[in-house]
Amino acid sequence: MLDYIQAHLDRDLRLADLAAIVGMSQYYFCRLFKRSLEISPHQYVLHERIERSKRLLKQKDLAIVDIALMCGFKNQSHLTTLFRKSTGTTPKNFRICASG
């Protein structure tokens, strides 16, 4: 399942779809996922999207709006809001600090 999530971070990953892939109810899938990783599926996906965006922000040739879409965020503002909440800084400032 983790490989599937990594391969599809740019898409809308719904809990119902993830549960259906493994043939479980949403409730049971959530319980097992959280028991295994100590984090909810939603929080895991968000964490992985932020981590991917950090890696991509180090590539200066990619626009932040493109990175947002590549990581499954609705738009650049959505990325910025969740990135700042997670890291304490904006994607733009992260990029500046990562380069120097």
- Catalogue all structural domains in the chain, each as residue range(s) with its CATH number: 2-99 (1.10.10.60)
- Which is higher by pLDDT, 60 or 40? 40
For the chain, give percent helix, strand, coil, nearest 5: 70, 0, 30
pLDDT band at 100 (very low <50, low <70, confident <90, very high): low
Chain centre distance of CA 29: 19
Residues 6+ apart with CB under 8 A from 7: none
pLDDT of 72-97, one tens digit each?
999 999 999 999 999 999 999 999 99
Whole-number pLDDT of residue 98: 87
45, 9 in Cβ contact below 8 A?
yes
39, 78 in Cβ contact below 8 A?
no
DSSP states of 13-49: --HHHHHHHTT--HHHHHHHHHHHHSS-HHHHHHHHH
Chain centre distance of CA 62: 17
